[in-house]
Amino acid sequence: MSWVKYNGEKINSSIEEAISAVIRQEAAQGNKLKVYIGTDSQVKRRSIDFATVIVFLREHKGGFMFIHKDRVDYLMSIRARMLLEVQKSIEIAYHISPLLEEHQVDLEIHADINTNPNFKSNTALNEAMGYILGMGFIFKAKPESFASTNCANKLVQ
């Protein structure tokens, strides 16, 4: 799985090694970090593009993110697509959470799912929330899900 920084620079190490380096560097500068993971998708003709982001926010000092993009070459229902977005975020969170726990860095998973039942994405809300909470992660949906709704959304278009 390949990751890049927001400026397009490729991350040549594993994502775990890159995050470990970030945590050490930020701690050395006296910054307290919080991590947010989110995925968004965009249907394009006969495929779906996905962008997953790991957003690092420094307390009162801005932030930065790592990005992974991929594509599936088949279409699916809106519910299935929302749950696949959540699955992609959970997979990353599952891999990096031991490292974050070790360094006492809080983690949230953000789902690009609307809490308003008038929106199509709402069909996956209960399942997505159960999936994320069941895995032991903090869950946020729209309008609080900035990692997926704002950050990943800008990168998938």
What's residue 157's pLDDT? 73
In this prediction, residue 117 has a pLDDT band, given cuts at 50, 70 and 90, of confident
Sorted by where each starts, the structural domains of the chain and their CATH numbers stand as 3-156 (3.30.420)
For the residues 87-102, what does the mean pLDDT come to?
96
Q: Model pTM? A: 0.94
Q: Is 77 exposed, middle or buried (0-12, 13-18, 19+ CB in 10 A)?
A: exposed
Query: What pLDDT score was predicted for residue 5?
Result: 95
Tell me: the pLDDT tens digits for 17-74?
999 999 999 999 999 999 999 999 999 989 999 999 999 999 989 999 999 999 999 9
CA distance 80 to 108: 22
Residue labelled with tokens 């909470």: 133
Structural contact between residues 27 and 103, judged by C-beta atoms closer than 8 angstroms? yes
